[in-house]
Structure 1
Amino acid sequence: MTDFIIDSHCHLDMPDFDKDRQQVLKNARKAGVHGFVIPGTTAGRWNKVLKIARNAEDIWPALGLHPYYCNDHTETELEQLAAQIAREPPVAIGEIGLDLFLPQLDEAKQRFYLEAQLDMAREFDLPVILHIRKANDPMLQLLRNHPVKGGICHAFSGSLQHAHKFIDMGFCLGFGGMLTYERSRKLRQLAKNLPLTALLLETDAPDMSGEKHRYQRNSPEYLPEVLDVLEKLRAESRERIAHQTTLNLQQLLGLEIPGFH
């Protein structure tokens, strides 16, 4: 019996998948991955995200302006985002966030677009998908000032204290390929000790490949490898972890997941 798991964060719209996207999806489904959330990153990619999602009942779109591209975003794109959400609501606003690791990214611009999108999420009553890099404390403060209904902390790497603060605000925490590295002791300790009701599985494909696929394109079909590690770390059964992480995402984003009950 294969697992029933969901990739809560994969960028299937990226050019890396243009040559074999359908085969990647076929392989992933065969491996037990029965759903895919695709976060949007730039206004120019939203249509592709939506098109991919429209063609399959197990693919769901999120739309947002990613902090990596803050120097290229425009205020007009915020208006376009609001108009698109009103026309065709995504499951979340994202990927949005704060990246204080890369020095070339303008923090003031990042904050401007993040705050605007947090307010938009509140206006449309949508959860958010957050990119947080070296920015857990400022992100928590921003969420206090711009409260939302919750969402996902993608590729979570904060402390146990940070984790519980996000959970208290209605967030689940995404764990992916980094968990498969033996050296990820701090991350593994988190994944072991946090409540199962707060965990999600993700790949961030084509990025953040796991240990078995280092320096290769990451893919949703490798998601069971994250489940492998969680099974070793935690007291619950593999089936229980698979079911609960899928249920977490279903409830968080209000998804109708074909075949899941």
Structure 2
Amino acid sequence: MIDSHCHLDLLASKVDLHTSLETAKAAGLTRIMAPSINPRSWEALQALSEQHSSLLPIDTALGLHPYFLTDSNQDNTASTTDLPEQAIDENLGQLEAAAATLHPSVKAVGETGIDGHISVPLTLQKKVLHAHLKLADTKALPVILHHRKSHHLLLEAFKQAKYQGVGVVHAFSGSVEAAKAYIERGFYLGIGGTITYERARKTRDTLKYLLENHFDKILLETDAPDMPMYGRQGAPNEPQYLSDVVDVIHELFAISPKQIISITTQNYLRLFETA
């Protein structure tokens, strides 16, 4: 199994990371993609990749998450004054510099995207996303996208940026129509803990369509330490629980765990061109 979206630096602040990774490996995990959220995150993840390389391969990505463009927006109280244009431009400059001398672990650009739930101005989120898409095209790297109430805005951004690359829409929970729109552009869709909840009927219906028509476009993910699996609420999510996602797909759609793991592993390696 490969966890295509796990915030290892955030997880490390909640659990003993080495123990967590050992447990995940024992549970069948073979690789992790660790997207970043800000410049401090890039350095932390690259160090973790080196530190734990003998245990598990850890790929990383360079990005500025829309949710963390300011320190105050975690409680949805960010205002325009919290977002000086100069500071954002400096971060984007750091992103360009980091991409100029890529750390060996970097396999993608992200996490970036558009979030319709936070008060960070959409104009700023679009500007930052546009910069990421341009960088991904320039470096020929896939992009890792965050979405909340923003599928139409992301698809619009691809056109505006004339984005020619591919990537993954992580924690996908959209309709069949939204899924088709991304797949037509060559994107993959990340499937995680949402499907372990019975109330996620729309996402499960979309997943059924994807399994029947586009199994080659599905990745597995935890989004650890967030998005806990059903029955594990109240504790940090961990990469070892990726098997919960596999188990639910098996139970709902009668696909063998071996096939689920084999196909999604091939999908991951194809997208990120790693082995």
Range of TM-score over shorter length: over 0.9
Aligned to 2:90: 76
> Per-residue deviation at 1:43?
1.0
> Per-residue deviation at 1:20?
0.4
1:112-135 superposed Cα distances (whole Å, 9 cap, x missing partner): 111111111111111100001100
Mapped pair 1:118 → 2:133: yes
State the one-letter code of the partner of 1:77: N
Which of 175, 195, 208 is the aligned partner of 1:179? 195
State the one-letter code of the partner of 2:263: Q
Identity %: 38
Aligned to 1:58: 57
Q: What runs of 5+ residues in structure 1 fail to find an aligned partner?
A: 257-261
**Structure 2 Cα separation of the partners of residues 145 and 235 of structure 1:** 41
> Per-residue deviation at 1:8?
0.2
Aligned to 2:256: 237
Runs of 4+ in 1 over 3 A off after TM superposition: 15-19
Aligned to 1:259: none
Count of aligned pairs: 251
Which of 223, 228, 237 is the aligned partner of 1:209? 228
Aligned to 1:21: 17
1:41 aligns to what SS in structure 2?
coil
Aligned to 2:80: none
State the one-letter code of the partner of 2:58: I
Which of 6, 12, 31 is the aligned partner of 2:8? 12
Aligned to 1:149: 165
Query: Is the alpha carbon distance of 1:174 and 1:30 closer, same or farther for their aligned partners in structure 2, counting shifts above 3 Å?
Result: same
**Structure 1 Cα separation of the partners of residues 12 and 151 of structure 2:** 30
**Structure 2 Cα separation of the partners of residues 76 and 86 of structure 1:** 15
> Per-residue deviation at 1:76?
1.5
**Structure 1 Cα separation of the partners of residues 140 and 94 of structure 2:** 18
Give the stretch that moved more between structures: 91-100 or 183-192: 183-192
**Structure 2 Cα separation of the partners of residues 166 and 232 of structure 1:** 26
* Alignment RMSD (CA, Å): 1.4
State the one-letter code of the partner of 1:43: P
Aligned to 1:158: 174
**Structure 2 Cα separation of the partners of residues 159 and 53 of structure 1:** 35
> Per-residue deviation at 1:208?
0.3
**Structure 2 Cα separation of the partners of residues 155 and 7 of structure 1:** 12
Mapped pair 1:105 → 2:120: yes
1:77-130 superposed Cα distances (whole Å, 9 cap, x missing partner): 21211111121251000000000122x221111111111111111111111000
1:22-69 superposed Cα distances (whole Å, 9 cap, x missing partner): 000000000011111000101122100111112315110111000002
**Structure 2 Cα separation of the partners of residues 17 and 225 of structure 1:** 23
> Per-residue deviation at 1:160?
0.4
Q: What runs of 5+ residues in structure 2 fail to find an aligned partner?
A: 71-82
C-alpha contact 1:70 1:106 (8 A) present in aligned 2 = no
Mapped pair 1:85 → 2:99: yes
**Structure 2 Cα separation of the partners of residues 98 and 248 of structure 1:** 25
> Per-residue deviation at 1:216?
1.3
Aligned to 2:66: 67
Query: Is the alpha carbon distance of 1:25 and 1:14 closer, same or farther for their aligned partners in structure 2, counting shifts above 3 Å?
Result: same
Query: Is the alpha carbon distance of 1:96 and 1:251 closer, same or farther for their aligned partners in structure 2, counting shifts above 3 Å?
Result: same
> Per-residue deviation at 1:148?
3.6
1:126 aligns to what SS in structure 2?
coil
1:37 aligns to what SS in structure 2?
strand
State the one-letter code of the partner of 1:36: I
1:14 aligns to what SS in structure 2?
helix
